[in-house]
Structure formats: C-alpha cells, structure tokens
Structure 1
Amino acid sequence: MNKDEMAGTRADSAMITLRGDNRANRAFTGVATFLRSDYCADIDRMTAEMAVFGVPLDEASPFLPGARMAPRSVREHSMRFSPGGFYDIARDKHYLPTEILTGRIVDAGDVDILPTNLPQTLENIAAMTRSLRRRGVIPVAIGGDHSVSYPLIRGFEEPVHVIQFDAHLDFAPAAQGMRYTNGQPFRHIAALPHVKSLTQAGIRSLRVRSAEAQDARGAGSRVVPVGEFRALGPQGVAALLPAGEKCYVSIDIDALDMSLVPGCVSAEPDGLRYDQLRDTLCALAARMDIIGFDLVEVNPLLDVGTGITSYLAAHVMVEFIGHIFAERAARRTCDVVT
C-alpha cells in the first residue's frame, strides 16, 4: 500500500470512528454541506473555529446572472473530498485529518437573500461576519458575485489587511445611481476605517480603465499586475503584507486563466495557473493570521457538464483551509515550546 492509500485508509478509519458508522458516503449521496461538515446555523451556540457559508447573490452582476447558484454547486463538488482531509503527496503531509470530523469546521448555511431589497441583503451579509467574528470564528464565504466582499469585510470590527486575487480592480466609481455592483466593492473596502491596507494581485483585464487604476493607487492600494505577480512569485507577493497581522483574502475565480474557469462570466486570458494561486495562498497562510476569506464569481449556469469550475473552486478552498489550520497548529506548538 502506498502513502496516498495509507492516508486515505487512516482518514476513512477516523471518519468511521468519529461518526460511528461505516457508510461509503460517495460524492453523490447525502446532504450537501461543505466537505460533509456538520450543519450549524445557530451562531450563538457555535463552538467551531471556522464556519463556511453561502452568499447566493448575483443581483449586482450587470452582465449574466447565475453566480447565485454557486454556493450549492461548490458544496456539492466539495463532497468529492473526504471529511477526513486530504493527503498532499508532494509535501508527504495529511491535512485536515480531524478538523471536519470533530466539528472545528462547520457549514453555517446561507445568508438570507432578499431579492430586489439590496440594502437589507447587504446588511444581512455584514451581520453574518459580524456575528461569527464576535464568537472568534473564521468566516469563509462562497459567493455570489464579487459585490458580496464589501459587506463581508464591512462586518469585521477589527483592523485587518485585505488582499484580493482578481483579473479586475473592481474599483469603479458610482455612476447612474449604481453604487454596489460587482465592479465597485474594493472602492468601498479601501475606504473602510478598519482596513489597514489593500493589495490587489493578478490584475490584467484590458477593461480596467486608467482612471480606476489611478483611483485605486490614490487610495493607497498596492496594485500588482499579473506580470509583476509572476516576477515576485508566491513568497514575494505574500511579503507585500506585514508578517503576523490579521488578513482577509478575497479570491475571484477569474484570477485564474480563462481556460481553467469556463463557469465564470468575467474570465480573462493571461491569468494565473492553479499552482501560482495555491502557492501564494499557502505563503499567506504561513505569513499572516488569516481571519476570513471569500471565493466568488463561479457561475454554474455557464459551466461545462462536469462542473469543473465549481470543483476547482472547492479545490482552492479545501487546500487553503488545510494550510490555514496547519499553520495555526504550528503556531500553537511554537507557543507551547516557548
């Protein structure tokens, strides 16, 4: 038996022991919670360290709808992974061996979306992160279009550095009464008093206007075009943020090259490879105190039949979550030793 098979066997044994059954639990069976984690909608009684939840909103997408279906689709594809974690053959390490099985990560359901009542929907989104952070829980949101990042970050009540992975700046000015589209969230985020810095990485779209870039830089944003991103590499991008401080990460799936994400309405050419995004997220998990993240702009209605964009989104989330918990464990060990 090879190491991968041994890791899978250990995970399966742990799942049977902790869950008290011997079900096969194939990907197409069961209730679709993220990674088959426990469902816990009562935040006041939540004891988890991390809560994954959906923000099924696409009213702020001015082109094609469908991103509202992403939370359900990404959850379904997450069930292809074991709740006993995953084995990284390159690192020879098993990640998330018990975090799901022991309730340290839960699925908190979806934010209540009120169609056509955008102000109250935005407040509902902010209230979700506010409630979770007041209990010390790390919020992980599945969008939805990218407009959801503004209320998510607005719900924080502590100083935080924000890094955005995206093909676009999303720093457009308000125009013709439109203030909260998916082209504007980081203009609002940059103005929040508790956001200590904003880094916008992987930017490359030819539809970004020069005035938008000037406004972003003028507001203090560190804009990292895709060429500079590649030159810096994962460690170099992570090093743009001050080590050890609290960090929120916003991942637009269109940060990846359009060949990888057919189920994304805003996909662009010349994007990141999966390993470039993953390794940068891993570097951030090692350098920063990650206190929340979102993944947005997956559109299942545009995806191919196998749902590879939703699967890729789940894959990004699972790996990032695995490294967040591994780094938190390493820090706790260091604290005990010292």
Structure 2
Amino acid sequence: MNERKQVDRLNLPFVGIPSYMRSPIVQDLSTLDADIAVLGVPSDEGSPWYPGARFAPRQMREMSVRYAGYGKMQGRAGYYDIETDRRFLEYEMGNERIADCGDVDIIYTNPEATYKNITDSVSQIIEADAIPLVMGGDHAVSYGVARAYQDPITIVHFDAHLDYRPFFHGAEYGNGSPMLKIGKLPNVTKMVQVGARGLRASIDDLNRARENGNHIVTMADYRRNGAESILSALPDSGRVYISIDIDILDLPLVPGCASAEADGLTYNELRQIIFSIVAKRELAGLDVVEINPMLDVPSNNTSLLGTQLMIETAGRAVLNKDYLRRKGRA
C-alpha cells in the first residue's frame, strides 16, 4: 500500500473554514488550554437603530484569516510589525496558545438566558487562565462579559457615547446602558470613559457617570491633554478590562457602524493609547463591539479594523511584565 506524502498547504485566505487567525477551535470550554481565547457574541437585540451587529463575529473571523498565513510564508509564526521591526504573537501562534472558542448560544427574545450564556462562557475562559477576546454584537453584551470576573478590575471604555442611560420602559439590556450596569458590579474598582462627543450626549448621563466616580475623557479633553489624560487615571496596580465600541474611531473609518460620530480617534491614535495601557497594566480581557457588516462597504473595512485591533492588542498584552511573570515566562 502506497503512503501519501502530506502536503504542506498554503491555505490562502479564501480557502478553508475560517477560524480566528486559523487558530484551533475549542467548543468544549471545559477542555480549554490556551493563553488567548476568542469568543463571539452575535447578539444585537439591544440595538434601537440598525440591526446587523450579530453578524460581526462571523465576518471578523473571515477577515482574520488574512493575517494568519503570512508568518508561515516567512517560515515563522506570529506577525511582523514593520513600524517597530518586531515580531508579535510568535510564541502564541507557534505553540497553538490562541483558541477560537466559537460563539455564545443566543436565545432570541430571552436576553436573560443569552446573558447567562455569555457569563458562563467567559467564566470558563477565565478559569482556564486565558485572556478573553470578545467579538460583539452590540455594546449591551459587554455587561454579560464583565460580570464574569470575580477579581478587581478597572474598566477602560472607548466610545463616542457614555452608555450610561437609565432603563426607560424597563429596557435593561439596551446598548445605551451597559456601562451603567457594569459600574454597579462590586469588583469594578474604577471606570475610565474615553471619547465622548456628538450631538446625542446627555448632561444627565454625564453627571450620573461622574457622581459614580467615573473618570471622563471627552474627545475635547483628549485633544487638549493627549493620552496622559487617560493613563494618569489608571490605578497603580490591578488588571484592566478594555471595552471598545468601534464608533470611538472617526466616522469615515467605520462605515459599518450604526452609531458612528464625526471627529473621533484615528486608528493609530487608538492603537497607541491601548498599547500604552496594556504595557502599564495587565489585560484582563477585551471586547470589540458595534461592528455591523450589513452597513459596511464591500471590502468590509470596519470588520477588518476591528479584527486588526484585537490582534494588535493581544500582541502587546502578552508582553506585559506582570502577565509574563504570572505565566512563568518572565
């Protein structure tokens, strides 16, 4: 019997089943053994405007495979950043330490059940000592993620809006209220909210957030004082959870976002702020939300930006000295 020689596949981006960056798929989270765990939460029942963010995890996985193969072509794992002349995620991708954990099961018309599923899934990822990287979904899903944490965390919230709206008509799971809910969690020690702007801002929401001790950095504040207005507000110790509404970016950059506003951050401004945050404090987790593929341009630019942001954040987060010491790799 002739033995067939296994062919080393090129696996171009348009070939095969698109797991996140071609990472191993782990759907039974009780068996998870990874350092980074990507999880989709395809729910947009909290959106009062255009629906469609539920399709973001699928589209972001599609976009992510564009970043998966180039290291292999170069004979090395990870990705090369030409700006810093450095390779990132080489250990994690070379040793299969990134896992695609699939999507949370969404129970339509039953948000309580959906959010229980979100919290249960993230809890299992945390128990496995992996960093959850969560793809929304609308911004309401961040509450289900944040309440899975038991240890103290600081929330850094990037958004054109404060998301501190009270529950009008009992709409507790709307995407205008997650930070109000998250701020009430007992383990959230501080909340830093970055990027508020636009004509839909509410003075009542602003006052409510400040009364609860939140540190607010509007776009005007950032333009005046730069990244230090954010970094100086971080506690001297403890881990940070970063929640990113893609509308933090300037409106032309994110055509696939129903809540986009003018005069936001550039992509490089956002990434450099995040790089500074995860260098200073260990990353507990990350979500990227409010990407709507149904509104996006044909080249899926918004999904691509969100995907790249997740990859680049992970690449810097695993270099944090506290993270490396805790993992025994310092």
Q: Smaller-chain TM-score range?
A: over 0.9
Indicate the percent of aligned positions where both proteins have the same amino acid.
40
User: SS where residue 124 of structure 2 aligns?
Assistant: helix
| 2:156 maps to 1:170 | no
Secondary structure of the 1:38 match is coil
Per the alignment, residue 259 of structure 1 pairs with: 252
Whether 1:74 and 2:67 are equivalent positions in the alignment is: no
* SS of aligned partner of 2:90: coil
Residue number in structure 1 paired with 2:231: 238
State the number of aligned residues: 318
Give the whole-Å Cα distance in 2 for the aligned partners of 1:97 and 1:80: 16
Residue 102, structure 1, aligned to residue 88, structure 2: no
**Which of 107, 111, 117 is residue 114 of structure 1 equivalent to?**
107
Alpha-carbon contact 2:164-2:177 (below 8 Å) kept:
yes
The match for 1:86 among 79, 84, 89 is 79
Q: Which residue does the alignment assign to 1:132?
A: 125
SS of the residue aligned with 1:125? helix
Contact in 1 for aligned 2:257/2:291 (Cα 8 Å) = yes
Given the superposition, is the C-alpha separation of residues 192 and 318 from structure 1 closer, same or farther in structure 2, using an over 3 Å criterion?
same
- Offset at residue 232 of structure 1 (A): 3.1
Give how far 1:327 is off.
Answer: 2.5
One-letter code aligned to 1:264: C
Q: Which residue number corresponds to residue 151 of structure 1? A: 144
1:244 CA drift (Å): 3.7
C-alpha distance in 1, partners of 2:215/2:323? 29
- Which of the residues 293, 301, 307 maps onto 2:300? 307
Q: How far off is 1:295 after superposition? A: 0.3
The within-5 A match list for 1:1-338 is 22-82=8-68, 84-328=77-321, 331-332=324-325
The farther-off stretch of 240-249 and 263-272 is: 240-249
- The 8 Å contact of residues 190 and 213 in structure 2, kept in 1 or not, is answered as yes
Task: Give per-residue Cα distances to partners, 1:66-91, cap 9 Å, x unaligned.
Answer: 00000000110011102532211121
Given that 1:37 and 1:101 are in contact with CA atoms closer than 8 Å, whether structure 2 keeps it comes out as: no
Aligned partners of 1:166 and 1:254 also within 8 Å: yes
- Tell me if structure 2 keeps the 8 A contact 1:235–1:280: no
Hey, what's the Cα distance between the residues in 2 that align with 1:68 and 1:256?
20
Q: Per-residue deviation at 1:100? A: 2.1
SS at match of 2:285: strand
Do the aligned residues in 2 keep the contact of 1:171 with 1:187 (CA within 8 Å)?
yes
Three-state SS of the structure 1 residue aligned to 2:94 is coil
Cα distance between partner residues in 1 of 2:279 and 2:197: 26
Report if aligned partners of 2:163, 2:180 keep a CA contact under 8 Å in 1.
yes
Secondary structure at the aligned position of 2:227 is classed as helix
Of 243-252 and 109-118, deviating more is: 243-252
Q: Can you give the 5+ residue segments of structure 2 that lack an aligned partner in the other structure? A: 1-5, 70-76
Contact 2:53–2:136 under 8 Å retained in 1: yes
Q: Deviations over 1:235-254 (max 9, x none)?
A: 54223102341110001100
Distance in 2 (CA, whole Å) between partners of 1:143 and 1:295 is 6
**Counterpart of 2:168 in 1: which secondary structure?**
coil
Greater Cα shift, 179-188 or 77-86: 77-86
Deviations 1:191-239 (A, max 9, x none): 1100000010011122011001011111111111012123333354223
In 1, Cα distance between equivalents of 2:200 and 2:125: 36
CA contact (8 A) 1:161 1:247 kept: yes
Structure 1 pair 21/53, CA: closer, same or farther in 2 (3 Å)?
Answer: farther
TM (norm. structure 1) is 0.90
Are the counterparts in 2 of residues 235 and 283 from structure 1 also a CA contact under 8 Å?
no
- Kept after mapping to 2: 8 A contact 1:126/1:151: yes
- Once residues 267 and 284 of structure 1 are traced to their aligned partners in structure 2, the CA distance between those partners, rounded to angstroms, is 24
RMSD between aligned residues: 1.8
